[in-house]
A and B are shown apart, each in its own frame.
Chain A
Amino acid sequence: MNRKEVIGIAKDWFDERAWKPAPFQRSCWDAYLSGKHGLLNAPTGSGKTLALWVPIVLDLIQSSKGKPVKGLKAIWITPLKSLSNEIKIASERFAKDMGIDITVGIRNGDTSTSERARQRRNFPTLLITTPESLHLLLASKDYQQKMKGLKAFVVDEWHELIGSKRGVQIELATSRLLSIAPKLRVWGISATIGNLEQAMQVLLGTRQAVLEQSILVRSKKKKKITIESLTPMKMDAFPWRGHLGLHQIEQVAAVIEKSKTTLVFTNTRSQCESWFQALLEQYSDLAGVIAMHHGSIEKEMRLWVEQAIRDEKLKVVVCTSSLDLGVDFAPVESIVQIGSPKGVARFLQRAGRSGHAPGKSSRIYFVPTYSLELLEAKAIRTAVEREIMEDRKPYELSFDVLAQYLVTLAVSDGFYPDQILEEILQTHAFQYLDLNEWQWILNYISKGSQSMEAYDEFRRVEVLEDGMFKVNSRRVAMRHRMQIGTIVGDGELRVKFVKGGYLGTVEEWFLSKLEPGDSFIFAGRVLQLVRIREMIAQVKISRAKKPKVVSWMGGRMTLSAQLGALLREEMQNMKENRNACKEFKALSSFLEKQEALSAIPSSNQLLIESFESREGHHLLVYPFEGRYVHEAMCALLAYRISQEFPISFSLAYNDYGFEILSDQYVDPELIRSKALLRVEDMHEDLLESVNAAEIAKRTFRDIAVISGLVFTGPPDKRKKDKHLQSSAQMFFSVFEDYEPENLLFNQAYSEVYAYQFQQERMEQAMQRMSKQELLIQSCPKPSPFSFPIITDRLRARMSSEALGDKIKRMIAEYTKA
């Protein structure tokens, strides 16, 4: 059968169902069958699975010539385990209709040991799996033999993986599979992101032969999206600051009332808990048809909620990013977004969760939590018009992932460094790996150090006589397999009813602040802590009136650069025409106050405000660059001011601007006259100004686990290794003192600069700001813009002292208190 004939079979299958293949599906079929690699850009629910699964099956029909298909032919990666089943059902159905005898298997953390063993004996034709489980396969004996017949490697939801270390895992796996399976075609599927071209190159690597044979296929289908912002009935009641947005509960309830099913998206898990409680309290008829969904809720409960949405049993689900991706929910009619969505892509992805039925548009309601956030609704509409989208920045030179990968290969069939290095240099992540770094990593896994010691007991990877790197110790191999992966939990305890039944997980630090008998809200219930036993918090239902709301570290997102730029632009528009849109009109009294007390900057101006209060002298700057950049920028500015004269500060920031508070007056003109926002020496000054060591220490935790410095096996297995307990912090400290050149230690700092302070973006921002006119305003009292920042209770102090000095000062403070 030639290509035209097999495509004919698929077309018939579509015809029988009165379907018509979309142009992007046809493009993928053609490209795949002509041996191309590529990236498909298509949204969820558009038929993307069939775009790639159809040609995989057609190719098997073509090449098997009626004989049974033997062995593993295709691997399909999904970032979420819950997506596996749908892909399995869809792919099995098509294969069955085609009359070809092939099998589909799922392999992930939930797969039983017996099923895994069965698969190893007799691999399914298509294996649906996760990045972690794929690496586990690479850690099993004879994987090369089992995988050499692979023809397709499909990475679904690549946009979710590319900006994480799981993406690096995929890149490494791709480089390996391309070497062992000569007929392999590599395909990614991605939602729209700003850097689609780059996303494809990152997945495929730098091999010229592969890139020449690659294609980016875009689905032209565009869904209509309606964005509506909900504003309070009375604008006066709109708070200048706030973070929950509960003052708008009435309007949200009205949306819920008139829609079949509504998803209410919140930005944090504690906000999710608060909204769920508030809705249930004020609208008691929602009992039974309201549910909540976030990442710390027990898995069974989350799955139940997802199924209940599909079965149209629920009217409203309050959720977090945990429902951003995943299975399609046809019944969802409306989406509500509480507070800033922080980015265009995220907002559109959430909007896309509604209106799945053909021809329907997606409808999303935006609920600002305070006045100025209203601007974001307008900014996002502009973004949609202009098709502006954020990039997902791929990780580079993640030595921790590389070390883990090399041990993985050493555990299974062993590897020869020269051969593997060639492949690794062909990945995007490690294309600039230099030979010293490579040697460092090899020494790290085989000698545990860089020096040539005559006798040492270090045992992890052994170097055999012929130069092969191999793990021979069964204990090392077992421990390594248990630890494969790049997602590191944050010291969490499971929450369980005394009488049985798990509710989910809560971070250790939060529980450590509670005493038995204290009450807190979690998983939509008011609970009383009874006791903590072996990493499990036992609870019972409580009737307490004022329970605490569980809070989680991390997960606080930052405003994207794209959205920031649009906000600055909207500021200009707002200045020019106060009646241009509903949002501007709603803001008018707020803006009048801002203009009376200070000013509204145009897009080529940087607004700087100063005023005095009982707390001291406030200096505010509004770059609109997001909280991460502002955190670093305000520390930098404070440091540079302190170089001019001795002074101490307290610092605060949000997504729009930052504040420097001091008991001394700082002339805002200094910023201009001393060029305090210059890009020059930024890195050096930043090093002096922020307590990078403290932040790097936190980042290092993940690196230590991924690279295998710290062992975090399951609790019951840990007992055997009692004498091997240590913490990432202990390692960080000894590296600091004894091995400051350690690559993993230094990686912690690079990650802090790249991802926490977003150094690249900060540099661009400062370049832009240096060209802007400074609009310096001395205000009689706090302006509306400043309000959410100056009332932020989370403040940082600037500190660049040595540990000894710091402890001395803290002791002085402690004794005073």
Chain B
Amino acid sequence: MEGTLKISIANEEMILHPYGAVYWIRMDMVLIADLHIGKIEHFRKSGLAVPAGIVEGNFQRLNKVLDTFKPAHIYFLGDLFHSKKNSGWDRFFKWMETVSVPVNLILGNHDRHDLKSIPEGLINMISDLDIDRFLLSHHPEEHAGKFNICGHIHPGVVIRGRGKSYAKSACFAVEENRLVLPAFGVFTGLHPIDLEKCAAVYVCAEDEVLRLK
């Protein structure tokens, strides 16, 4: 699988996808954080002209990830939806019809408006998932004896080269007992992380995952 990177984390093999998804091999499960469906439409509704075309960008990326791994389960680690229901949600529901595997959502801080308008049984919504030695959540969580996999942070790195050159990119951040996923959605922004605090950092460099640290 070109551009992906297989890593071992908490003695478990996982594959990092350059778009920001994680494939957990043993569980046959794809993890995706912070898609922020409806954000683009929310901006546009307020008169801020985000190119409408990037909505399709999100779905093309999702499809590519699913084609690559053909998982048995999909888990969204929160902030699947950005704000109130709008046409972006309908587009997402339409996409869901093309997906044959069960979709689960671990609720995030953004996922609190209009959840009732999600068609019955379409998405399995839970607050977190305690599975094996792992705890899947939206916010970073501390739980004795558990390795936490989460989103929320939108981790990114600024790499400075010699001279004045620099580059900014989303990344996977590994801390002592935690893996933080980058935000998967297009137009979601980055939060620079402290490299010192990370045990390992994997950068999403366009079509390739590269280990920075």
Q: In whole angstroms, what is the CA distance A456 to B49 when docked?
A: 12
* Min CB gap B85→A, angstroms: 11
Q: In whole angstroms, what is the CA distance A795 to B163 when docked?
A: 5
Question: Within the complex, which residue of A725, A795, A797, A806 is in contact with B167, where a contact is CB–CB below 8 Å?
Answer: A806
| Chain A residue nearest to B88 in the complex (CB) | A457
- Contact present for A742 and B187 (CB under 8 Å): no
Which B residues are CB-close (under 8 A) to A453? 52
B87 sits at the interface (CB 8 A)? yes
The distance from the CB of B172 to the nearest CB of chain A, in whole angstroms, is: 14
A512 CB to nearest B CB, Å: 10
Task: Give B154 Cβ to nearest chain A Cβ, in Å.
Answer: 11
Interface centre among A479, A742, A811 (most CB of B within 10 A): A811
Closest to B18 in A: A804
A97 within 8 Å of B (CB atoms): no
- In contact, B212 and A814 (Cβ under 8 angstroms): yes
Q: Which residues of B contact A721 (CB under 8 A)?
A: 46
Given the known interface contacts A691-B165, A809-B161, A811-B210, the answer about A738 and B53 at a Cβ–Cβ threshold of 8 Å is: yes
Contact of B187 among A459, A711, A734, A807 (CB under 8 A): A734
Q: Quick check: is A142 within 8 A (CB to CB) of the other chain? A: no
B186 at the interface (CB under 8 A from A): yes
CA distance A726 to B186 in the complex (A): 12
State A802–B206 Cα separation when bound (angstroms).
10
CB contacts (< 8 Å) of B64 on chain A: these are: none
Contact B83 A723 (CB under 8 A): yes
Q: Which of B54, B82, B205 interacts with A723 by CB under 8 Å? A: B82
Encoded as 1 (CB less than 8 Å from any B CB) or 0, chain A from 437 to 470 comes to 0000000100011010101111111000000000
Identify which of residues 166-213 in chain B touch chain A, using a CB-to-CB cut-off of 8 Å.
166-169, 186-189, 203, 205-208, 210-212
Whether A710 contacts B163 by the Cβ 8 Å rule is: no
What residues on B are CB-neighbors of A809 within 8 Å?
Answer: 161
B161-A804 in contact (CB<8A): no
The 8 A CB mask of A719-736 against B (1 = contact, 0 = none) is 001011111011100110
In-complex Cβ contact of B165 among A694, A724, A726, A811 (8 A): A694
User: Which B-chain residue is minimally distant from A480 (CB atoms)?
Assistant: B47
B43: CB under 8 A from chain A? yes
CA A726 to CA B162, docked complex, whole Å: 29
Residues of A within 8 A of B159 (CB): 807, 810-811, 814
Query: Which A64-93 residues sit within 8 Å CB-CB of chain B?
Result: none
Q: Is the CB–CB distance between B186 and A724 below 8 Å?
A: no
CB distance A796 to B164 under 8 Å? yes
Distance, CA A449 to CA B51, complexed state (A): 6
Closest partner residue, chain A, to B159 (CB atom): A810
Give every chain A residue within 8 A of B44 (Cβ-Cβ): 448, 456-459
For B203, list chain A residues within 8 Å (CB): 807, 811
- Using A449-B52, A710-B48, A811-B159 as known contacts, say yes or no to A804 and B187 having CB atoms under 8 A apart: no
Asked whether, in the complex, the Cβ of A742 is within 8 Å of the Cβ of B45, the reply is no
A756 in contact (CB, < 8 A) = no
Give chain A interface residues in 470-489, CB to chain B under 8 Å: 473, 475-476, 479
Instruction: Indicate if B57 sits at the interface (CB-CB under 8 A).
Output: yes
Q: Say yes or no: is A708 at the interface (Cβ < 8 Å to chain B).
A: yes
Find out whether the CB atom of A810 lies under 8 angstroms from the CB atom of B165.
yes
The residue of chain A having its C-beta at the shortest distance from the C-beta of B204 within the complex is A807
Give the docked Cα–Cα distance between A457 and B43 (Å).
9
Please determine whether B162 and A813 come into contact, CB atoms closer than 8 angstroms: yes
B162 cross-chain contacts in A, Cβ below 8 A: 650, 797, 813
- Check if A799 is an interface residue, CB within 8 A of chain B: yes
Cβ distance B178 to chain A, nearest Cβ, rounded Å? 22
Q: Hey, which chain A residues are within 8 Å of B164, CB to CB?
A: 794-797
> A473 contacts B47, CB within 8 Å?
yes
Task: Judge if B104 is at the interface, Cβ distance under 8 Å.
Answer: no
A739 at interface (Cβ–Cβ under 8 A)?
A: yes
Across the interface, B52 reaches (CB within 8 A) one of A448, A709, A724, A813, namely A448
Complexed CA–CA distance, A709 and B44 (Å):
10
Inter-chain CB contacts under 8 Å: number:
138
> Which chain B residues border A224 with CB–CB below 8 Å?
none
Asked whether B43 lies within 8 Å of A724 as measured between CB atoms, the reply is yes
| B48, A726: Cβ atoms closer than 8 Å | yes
How far, in whole Å, are A243 and B124 apart by their CA atoms in the complex?
65
Contact yes or no, A734 B45, CB < 8 A: no
Give the docked Cα–Cα distance between A754 and B123 (Å): 53
B34 at the interface (CB under 8 A from A): no
Residues in A neighbouring B189, C-beta threshold 8 A: 725-727, 730
Contact A459 B45 (CB under 8 A): yes
A20 is an interface residue with CB less than 8 A from chain B: no
Assuming the A-B contacts A724-B42, A814-B159, are A711 and B48 also in contact, with contact meaning beta carbons closer than 8 angstroms in the complex? yes
Taking the closest CB of chain B, its distance from the CB of A766, in whole angstroms, is: 24
Interface string of B134-156 (1 = CB under 8 A from A): 00000000000000000000000
Residues of A within 8 A of B167 (CB): 803, 806-807, 810
**B49:A448 contact, CB within 8 angstroms:** yes
Residues in A neighbouring B86, C-beta threshold 8 A: 457
The one of A650, A710, A807 that contacts B210, using a Cβ cutoff of 8 Å: A807
What's the minimum C-beta distance from A769 to chain B, rounded to whole angstroms?
25
Instruction: Decide if B47 touches A708 in the complex (CB within 8 Å).
Output: yes
Measured between C-beta atoms, what is the minimum distance from A97 to chain B in Å? 51
- B 28-67 contacts with A by CB, 8 A: 39, 41-54, 57
The reply to whether the CB of A808 lies closer than 8 angstroms to some CB of chain B is yes
Q: Is B47 a contact of A459 with CB atoms below 8 Å?
A: yes
Given A734-B187, A804-B205, A807-B205, A650-B46 contact (CB < 8 Å): no
B127 CB → nearest A CB, Å: 22
Known A457-B87, A723-B83, A804-B206; judge A810-B51 contact (CB<8 A).
Answer: no
Q: Across the two chains, which residue of chain A brings its CB closest to B42?
A: A723
Query: Which residues of chain A from 87 to 130 have a CB within 8 Å of any chain B CB?
Result: none
Q: In the bound complex, how far is the Cα of B188 from the Cα of A482, in angstroms? A: 25
Asked if A737 is at the interface of the complex by the 8 Å CB criterion, the answer is yes
CA of A725 to CA of B189 in the docked complex: distance in angstroms? 9
Whose C-beta in chain B lies nearest to the C-beta of A807? B205
A457 and B41 contact, CB distance less than 8 A? yes
Interchain CB contact under 8 A, B46 and A709: no
Q: Which residue of B lies closest to A444 (CB)?
A: B49
Cβ-defined partner of B46 (8 Å) among A724, A796, A802: A724
Task: Determine how close the nearest CB of chain B comes to the CB of A752; give it in whole angstroms.
Answer: 15
B1-34 interface with A by 8 A CB criterion: none
Min CB gap A68→B, angstroms:
43
Query: In the bound complex, what is the Cα–Cα distance between A710 and B187 (angstroms)?
Result: 13
How many angstroms between the C-alpha atoms of A737 and B48 in the bound complex? 18
Q: How far is the CA of A814 from the CA of B201 in the complex (A)?
A: 13
The chain B residue sitting closest to A731, CB to CB, is: B50
User: A727 — which chain B residues lie within 8 A by C-beta?
Assistant: 189
Nearest CB on B from A718, distance (A): 13
Question: Are A737 and B163 in contact (CB-based, < 8 A)?
Answer: no
B205 — which chain A residues lie within 8 A by C-beta?
Answer: 803-804, 807-808
Residues of B within 8 A of A475 (CB): 46
Cβ contacts under 8 Å, B46 to chain A: 459, 475-476, 479, 721, 724
State whether A799 touches B169 (Cβ < 8 A).
Answer: no
Most A Cβ at <10 Å: residue of B45, B49, B168, B211: B49
* CA–CA, A721 and B45, complex, Å: 13
Evaluate contact between A456 and B210: CB separation under 8 angstroms: no
B47 touches A448 (CB 8 A): yes
Q: How far is the CA of A159 from the CA of B36 in the complex (A)?
A: 48
CB distance from B75 to the nearest CB of A (A): 24
Question: Can you list 22 A-B pairs, Cβ within 8 angstroms, ordered by A?
Answer: A457-B45, A458-B52, A473-B47, A476-B47, A479-B46, A709-B48, A710-B48, A711-B48, A723-B39, A723-B42, A724-B43, A724-B48, A737-B54, A739-B53, A797-B161, A797-B164, A807-B203, A807-B205, A810-B165, A811-B159, A811-B203, A811-B211
Other 4 A-B pairs with CB < 8 A, given A723-B39, A734-B54, A813-B161:
A449-B52, A459-B47, A803-B167, A814-B212
A interface vs B, CB < 8 Å?
Answer: 444, 448-449, 451, 453, 455-461, 473, 475-476, 479, 650-651, 691, 694, 708-711, 721, 723-727, 729-731, 734-735, 737-739, 742, 794-797, 799, 802-804, 806-811, 813-814
5 A-B pairs with least C-beta separation? A460-B47, A797-B163, A448-B49, A458-B44, A807-B205
